[in-house]
Amino acid sequence: MKLFVDTADTKAIAELAEMGLIDGVTTNPSLIMKSGRDIFEVVREICDLMEGMPVSAEVVATNAGEMEAEGLKLKEIASNVVVKVPLTWDGLKACRRLSGQGIEVNVTLCFSANQALLAAKSGATYISPFIGRLDDINLDGMELIEDIVEIYENYEFDTQVLAASIRTANHVRDAAKIGAHVATVPPDLIKKLTLHPLTDKGLASFLADWKKSGGEIL
């Protein structure tokens, strides 16, 4: 499973990119707002940091013509920009128009398998089902990932399932088990995936014994 980071925080992206842990970046209007920066400036910086890997930048228009125009403008920032459009009727029209021009499109705000089916038929490169927001209203976000993976496999769609709105370590594990192609995860949560109390306990005991041994490595 590819791992994308869901943020517009360039400091966090730079650290993860240097570690080679991430395969792409996703942003949305809320994350751009949180960064406090101009979308063109921040997306350009992210694209430079990611060296050719996919960086999703989202349109904010609601009709197909304007979404297409915004998408084309965002795409001018760098060749690795993936244009993100919402899963609406007009969003699907914009997806078809942009993908027809060879532009990669991430269709976002997906909450049902039928929406995902239409996105694939509209030429989406990625479909972004939101796990956490479904769980928030007592529905099963992971079941949606499972349904979409199954449907795409049945009909050999090329669209990649990009599990989004990931809130927990179990979301990451389950998306990987189900076969999501990508998970986009907030930077803090990626860091937390390293944590295990037995790792901390084991390390403390190794270091205590090492101290007693009086040995030195450097």
Is 132 a residue that touches ligand G3P (CB under 6 A)? yes
List binders of ligand G3P among 151-170 (CB under 6 A): 164-165
Q: Is 212 a catalytic residue?
A: no
Nearest-approach distance from CB 48 to ligand G3P, in angstroms: 21
82: its two tokens: 């993936």
Task: Give the count of residues interacting with ligand G3P (CB under 6 A).
Answer: 9
Q: Which stretch binds ligand G3P (CB under 6 A): 46-54, 87-95, 127-135, 138-146?
A: 127-135
Of 26 and 80, which CB lies nearer to ligand G3P in the complex structure? Answer: 26
Cα–Cα distance for residue pair 174/166, rounded to 1 Å:
11
The span from the CA of 56 to the CA of 103, in Å, is: 12
Residue whose CB is less far from ligand G3P, 80 or 108 = 108
Q: Which stretch binds ligand G3P (CB under 6 A): 75-83, 130-138, 149-157, 197-205?
A: 130-138
DSSP-assigned letters across all residues of the chain: -EEEEE---HHHHHHHHHTT--SEEE--HHHHHHHTS-HHHHHHHHHHHHTTS-EEEE----SHHHHHHHHHHHHTT-TTEEEEEESSHHHHHHHHHHHHTT--EEEEEE-SHHHHHHHHHTT-SEEEEBHHHHHHTTS-HHHHHHHHHHHHHHTT---EEEEBS--SHHHHHHHHHHT-SEEEE-HHHHHHTT--HHHHHHHHHHHHHHHHHT----
Catalytic choice (34, 84, 177, 191): 84
**170 to 209, contacts with ligand G3P by CB under 6 A?**
184
User: By CB under 6 A, is residue 133 in contact with ligand G3P?
Assistant: yes
**Residue 19 tokens, joined:** 């570690």
Q: Which of 4, 126, 130, 152 binds ligand G3P (CB under 6 A)?
A: 130
Stretch that binds ligand G3P, among 61-69, 72-80, 128-136, 191-199 (CB under 6 A): 128-136
Closer residue to ligand G3P in complex, CB, 54/199 = 54
Under rule CB under 6 A, which residues in 8-47 are in contact with ligand G3P?
Answer: 26, 28
Residues acting as catalytic residues: 84
Contacts with ligand G3P, residue ranges (CB under 6 A)? 6, 26, 28, 130, 132-133, 164-165, 184
